[in-house]
Structure 1
Amino acid sequence: MRLILRFGGIAILVAAIVILAVLPFATSFVEQWSRRDVELRSRLVFSTARDQVVELLAHNDSAQVEKLFERIATDERVLAIGYCEGQQLRFQTKNMPSFFSCAQAAQSDGESSFTIREQGGNTLISAFPLNVNGRAGHLVVLHDMSFVERRGTQARSSILLALAGVALGAAALVATIALLIMRRWVASIRQAMENARTGTPTPSVDEDLPAIGKEIHDVLQELDATRRTIEAAHTDWNPETLRATLSNELSGSEVIVVSNREPYIHNRTEDGIVLQIPASGLVAALEPVTRACGGTWIAHGSGTADRESVDAYDRVAVPPDNPSYTLRRVWLTEEEQEGYYYGAANEGLWPLCHIAFVRPAFRESDWRMYRAVNEKFAEAVVAEAKREDPVILVQDYHFALLPRMIRERLPRATIVTFWHIPWPNAETFGICPWREEIVDGLLGSSILGFHTQAHCNHFLDAVDTYVESRIDRERDSVTYGGEETLIRPYPISIEWPPTALAGQKSIEECRHAVRQRLGLPPDMRIGVGIERFDYTKGIIDRMQVIDNLFTEYPEWKGRFVFVQVAAPTRSKLASYRQLQEEAEALARDINTRHGTEGYEPIKLLIRHHGPDQVFELFRAADICVVSSLHDGMNLVAKEFVAARDDESGVLILSAFAGASRELSEALIVNPYNAHAMGEAFNRALTMPPEEQRERMRLMRDQVRERNVYRWAGQMLLAASRLRKRLRIRRLIAAGRRRASANA
């Protein structure tokens, strides 16, 4: 119905334009025709009265001249008649207007006509030359032209009514034709949907509209296949499932991953070039996914030997032992790294998004560099894209502006952005000087993912507060600039089973190896904490809890050691350097006060540990502590659970880490409450093996089912469904255009 009204409206609009264009010409025609008619009448009057006027003027019979003029002036169209001799008006009728002057008639020696507009009306003056007794003069006839305006108004009204009737008739005809076409088109779509629902094959046809119905039928079948894939793979997500899903749902699609951190780093050492896998939750989550789906990973090349390890196009095939995807490195200058990474990202956005009571630093120079680096990565994406509609996975807070930049260059791309850190509430986010630009950049995404629904809600509140948009709370979507962005929670996870678990020894062998390496007796209980040196991880608070534990439960002295692994990170930033120095000083103080000769309660290991070493520590530990002050998810908690195939060990988990929403069987703690955390330590160390197994079994089931392949699969399937919906919309739009053309 809307389309029919549109067709009818267009027909009426066209008719209105025609009427507006025709009316001025019609009015002009009426005026010209009326003027010619009056001029003809004046000439007829002159021809009829000329001889009589000449004779009366020759005899200077003024009385008869005036009678003759008055008789002629009785014509309703004639306003007045007069005779000019030179520039003197000798004879005139009583209605001769005061504005008339013989000087106007004397300007021409021959016959002439001109119009004078006075007192709101037009008067046509026709002057005819006469020669009386050798004296030149002019007989002038004046006509009132007001009737011309009345005649023009009548003509315009008649033409307007006639054209309006034609326009309405044309609009009705066009609407009727459009209705017939639309009914046929809608019937085709309905039949296609019914065939898709019942599984009936769609017959092949040559006509355009049924062909569109067949295409929509095919797309609906693909959407139904997506649903069946999700149901079939619901409980067993693995690399094969993910590859099969991508093959079915995104067949022929190009997948590009963009992150700041690269999955493999080449560094130059005294022993030559060594390959390092960085300690990054993002890398741990995405690397197995990228191996499963292939494609290209674009990242900053930060290794000292990275340039030596790429080809002429800055690409290297990874993993080295079994290449399955391409790593494309982007080079940043020292100035770019300082402004974009250390400045805007980690002194600005990182503390802004984490409630760790560290004040963000906002510098305009950093933001300019952040924007420039995002532009550089956008250009790299375009250079690597082999299709106009790739699937692009943009990762984390380093690239808040990148989705919009990609959208401007590749408008048909499906952009899935995942924000790996928390999103603050709208009031907190409001202190950011670049809040509108950040929101605009992220809304360039097709799908924007966060770890939890709470983070999604915070983002929607920020959009509602700071930009003009339309928010659909039921669908969790934002329509901005005519484009829709879906906002979804996708809790990130780890691969299952973890690759690092494959080469591990038994639990007892791991315990023996760790105790021997750290110089611990066989009966020593072990707690572990493994993370980067970051103020959001609560390392200082955790050490203070251990101090409190030994004060309130002194029986654990000499029987419990806490191994804190902390990889140095962002050491150029003062807050991170101070954290490391404070942690080292606190560990020395606690070891001095609670340790003895040969016994250190805290083993602080400040260096990078590879995945195999980390899993060995997990398997050797009695408890694992994740006491983040604020964390998007924290994969260390899930890695510990995955490492414990013996179903023993206790996880102490911060309530402010996203993982606490899924691993509710852990001991959930408030990291700011030292006393309560000390109680949790004591409870974990005294927990019966049966309770440990029950809790660990439930958590392992959770991590197994909700692994990283499911996380990636959900996002990619959402991208697939979105692409198919857009394809249906394009088909419908194409059908409408064809219907319009046929009409």
Structure 2
Amino acid sequence: MVSSARGTYDFVVAANRLPVDRHVEPDGTTTWQTSPGGLVTAMESVMRDREGAWVGWAGFPGEAPEPFDDGPLRLVPVPLSAEEIADYYEGFSNDTLWPLYHDVIVPPTFHRSWWHCYRAVNERFAEAVCEVAAEGATVWVHDYQLQLVPAMVRDRRPDLRIGWFNHIPFPPVELFAQLPWRASILRGLLGADFLGFQRPDDARNFRRACRAVLGARAAGDQVRWDGTDDGRTGAGPRTVRAASVPISIDASGFQRLADSPEVCERAREIRESLGDPDVVLMGVDRLDYTKGIRHRLRAIGELFEDGDIAPPDVTFVQVATPSRERVEAYRTLREQIEATVGRINGDFSHLGDTAVHYLHQSYPREEMAALFQVADVMLVTPLRDGMNLVAKEYVTARHDGGGALVLSEFTGAAEELRAAYLCNPHDIEGLKETIVRAIRDDPAEKSRRMAALRRRVRRHDVQTWAEEFLAALASAPQRPRGRSRR
């Protein structure tokens, strides 16, 4: 709801990116189109019928555009310089926090200059939030890039109701303790009233970190911290609730898309273009070392080598959406994956029969829905993932009741989608056995599993997630409100 007197809003979302991307047309005019990211996809239906403001970076360096409207949403761009993109986003967020929060699959990098930039950018986001938030507004902060924002907003606007949701895992304290600025991160998060996590383990990891690092007390899902009035952001006694609220998708909307005649026809075209194989194995991931693509390719290569699968009867399609290509670890990963794909195809493909189709590009949602319908076995096998919405989109798209989902135990989705073919992606032999079982299992068994998966996603969709999060935020422990510092 808009507070027209001051141009402020009763509901404010803060995320690293705005939900739109800028496109410059050949004639020089500028248009804004919905972003393809997972957060935007999840939040799109939540915000569709809700007036509010969204604070985020516009996606390009330099001066930010003036705030503008996108339907009922007021979009408030936050400027980032090229240096800040390198230090705050590519550096601290994605070369320090991301690997640390994903089991240190690659070693995190610690630079003091990155930390100072991260803090400065979080200050800028907090100021923007406070500018557009009405008195007593609800503020929903998202993800690991903005972990200092809750306390920074609280320090300026104690009248606000502040929630934060973590879309990625939160690490065990034994890993989190490596972070030189661990106490500052926790103090930043404890500025919120309610902290939402994908899995119960993530919430427990956070509460354990608060005990170990800050000396806080934890009882049930609440953290009680006395704080100290030492001038640092986030100081002061508080009680914060930290619990699991797993994210989901707009199941009804995605099913309507998948059911459309255009998408069904496109699925038929894709399968025909692949040579109409008996079995299409598929992986759909952002190109990231957490997604287990190298392990998956190793398992696929060995299955071809062992003779368990062979083209043209079986083919594997790997969609790898480009990601963070200026970060060295990602450039190296791409080179390794492309070399492995080349080796497998060199060894096992024949003229007209390709063993592995590798697609390093982004696709619109319509194309993804068609690809999901083509996949007889979907391989969702990350080494660590907060949730993985691809798994939920896949089962939703399979309106025919067919298909099979091979799912890593180390995704948040595995907590809910227990009827999937669960696997340990580190165990290559076990992964191979699970893939073969998903291919060869009795059709009735696969149909039973898929029906159970579809029921779960349908009953726990993104609207349920948003309602549960906002209800938890509204009922979180109250604190006396101080004066706003604008």
Distance in 2 of aligned mates of 1:591 and 1:573: 28
User: Higher relative CO (CA 8 A, sep ≥ 6), structure 1 or 2?
Assistant: 2
* Residue 294 (1) aligns with residue 48 (2): no
Gap change, CA 1:685 and 1:499, over 3 Å in 2: closer
- Aligned residue in 1 for 2:315: 561
Give the Å deviation of 1:305. 12
Aligned partner (choices 258, 266, 285) of residue 42 of structure 2: 285
Gap change, CA 1:447 and 1:650, over 3 Å in 2: same
Give the Å deviation of 1:585. 1.1
- Aligned residue in 2 for 1:255: 11
Q: How does 1:233-632 map to 2 (within 5 A)?
A: 254-268=10-24, 270=26, 273=30, 275-303=32-60, 310=65, 314-318=66-70, 323-385=71-133, 387-472=134-219, 474-480=220-226, 481-499=236-254, 501-502=256-257, 504-505=260-261, 509-516=265-272, 519-632=273-386
Q: Residue type matched to 1:296 in 2?
A: A
Counterpart of 1:359 in 2: which secondary structure? coil
Give the Å deviation of 1:361. 0.2
Distance in 2 of aligned mates of 1:617 and 1:400: 35
- CA deviation map 1:143-194 (0-9, x unaligned): xxxxxxxxxxxxxxxxxxxxxxxxxxxxxxxxxxxxxxxxxxxxxxxxxxxx
Give the Å deviation of 1:499. 4.2
Gap change, CA 1:688 and 1:673, over 3 Å in 2: same
Distance in 2 of aligned mates of 1:478 and 1:488: 14
Q: How does 1:171-190 map to 2 (within 5 A)?
A: none
C-alpha RMSD over aligned residues: 2.2
Gap change, CA 1:540 and 1:277, over 3 Å in 2: farther
Q: Residue type matched to 2:203 in 1?
A: C
- Aligned residue in 1 for 2:450: 696
The answer (yes or no) to whether the contact 1:265–1:306 under 8 Å persists in 2 is no
- Higher fraction of helix: 1
Counterpart of 1:471 in 2: which secondary structure? strand
Distance in 2 of aligned mates of 1:640 and 1:524: 19
Gap change, CA 1:721 and 1:403, over 3 Å in 2: same
Gap change, CA 1:617 and 1:274, over 3 Å in 2: farther
The answer (yes or no) to whether the contact 2:148–2:185 under 8 Å persists in 1 is yes
Distance in 2 of aligned mates of 1:408 and 1:508: 52
Aligned partner (choices 373, 393, 397) of residue 639 of structure 1: 393
- Larger CA deviation: 432-441 vs 639-648: 639-648
Gap change, CA 1:660 and 1:464, over 3 Å in 2: same
TM-score by length of 2: 0.91
Larger Rg: 1
Give the Å deviation of 1:356. 4.9
Counterpart of 1:497 in 2: which secondary structure? helix
Distance in 2 of aligned mates of 1:453 and 1:546: 32
Give the Å deviation of 1:289. 0.9
The answer (yes or no) to whether the contact 1:526–1:621 under 8 Å persists in 2 is yes
Q: Residue type matched to 2:19 in 1?
A: P
Counterpart of 1:391 in 2: which secondary structure? strand
Give the Å deviation of 1:271. 7.2
Give the Å deviation of 1:524. 4.2
Distance in 2 of aligned mates of 1:445 and 1:289: 21
- Aligned residue in 2 for 1:684: 438
Distance in 2 of aligned mates of 1:459 and 1:426: 8
Distance in 1 of aligned mates of 2:303 and 2:31: 41
Gap change, CA 1:438 and 1:704, over 3 Å in 2: same
Counterpart of 1:530 in 2: which secondary structure? strand
Q: How does 1:112-131 map to 2 (within 5 A)?
A: none
- CA deviation map 1:680-712 (0-9, x unaligned): 221112223211221111111111111111111
Give the Å deviation of 1:358. 0.5
- Larger CA deviation: 343-352 vs 504-513: 504-513
Distance in 1 of aligned mates of 2:356 and 2:224: 49
Distance in 2 of aligned mates of 1:256 and 1:298: 7
Distance in 1 of aligned mates of 2:36 and 2:109: 25
- Aligned residue in 2 for 1:105: none
Distance in 2 of aligned mates of 1:264 and 1:487: 30
The answer (yes or no) to whether the contact 1:447–1:487 under 8 Å persists in 2 is yes
Distance in 1 of aligned mates of 2:114 and 2:62: 27
- CA deviation map 1:236-276 (0-9, x unaligned): xxxxxxx9xxxxxxxx9711111112211012254765644
Q: Residue type matched to 1:428 in 2?
A: L
Give the Å deviation of 1:553. 3.0
Q: Which runs of 5+ in 2 are unaligned?
A: 2-7, 227-235, 482-486
The answer (yes or no) to whether the contact 1:545–1:678 under 8 Å persists in 2 is yes
Distance in 2 of aligned mates of 1:659 and 1:335: 36
Counterpart of 1:346 in 2: which secondary structure? helix
Give the Å deviation of 1:556. 2.8
Counterpart of 1:432 in 2: which secondary structure? coil
Q: Residue type matched to 2:326 in 1?
A: K
Counterpart of 1:609 in 2: which secondary structure? coil
- Aligned residue in 2 for 1:226: none
Counterpart of 1:493 in 2: which secondary structure? coil
Distance in 1 of aligned mates of 2:62 and 2:207: 43
- CA deviation map 1:592-614 (0-9, x unaligned): 10101112211111111111111
Counterpart of 2:252 in 1: which secondary structure? coil
- Aligned residue in 1 for 2:473: 719
Distance in 2 of aligned mates of 1:561 and 1:305: 45
Report the number of matched residues: 464
- CA deviation map 1:46-101 (0-9, x unaligned): xxxxxxxxxxxxxxxxxxxxxxxxxxxxxxxxxxxxxxxxxxxxxxxxxxxxxxxx
Give the Å deviation of 1:417. 0.3
TM-score by length of 1: 0.60
The answer (yes or no) to whether the contact 2:167–2:386 under 8 Å persists in 1 is yes
Gap change, CA 1:306 and 1:336, over 3 Å in 2: closer
Gap change, CA 1:496 and 1:520, over 3 Å in 2: closer
- CA deviation map 1:364-396 (0-9, x unaligned): 0000000000001011111112x2211011000
Give the Å deviation of 1:561. 1.5
Q: Residue type matched to 1:399 in 2?
A: L
Distance in 2 of aligned mates of 1:570 and 1:269: 24
Distance in 2 of aligned mates of 1:520 and 1:427: 47
Give the Å deviation of 1:325. 1.4
Gap change, CA 1:304 and 1:369, over 3 Å in 2: closer
Q: Residue type matched to 2:299 in 1?
A: V
Distance in 1 of aligned mates of 2:255 and 2:22: 20
Distance in 2 of aligned mates of 1:515 and 1:655: 29
Counterpart of 1:260 in 2: which secondary structure? strand
Q: Equivalent pairs: percent with the same residue?
A: 35
Gap change, CA 1:682 and 1:361, over 3 Å in 2: same
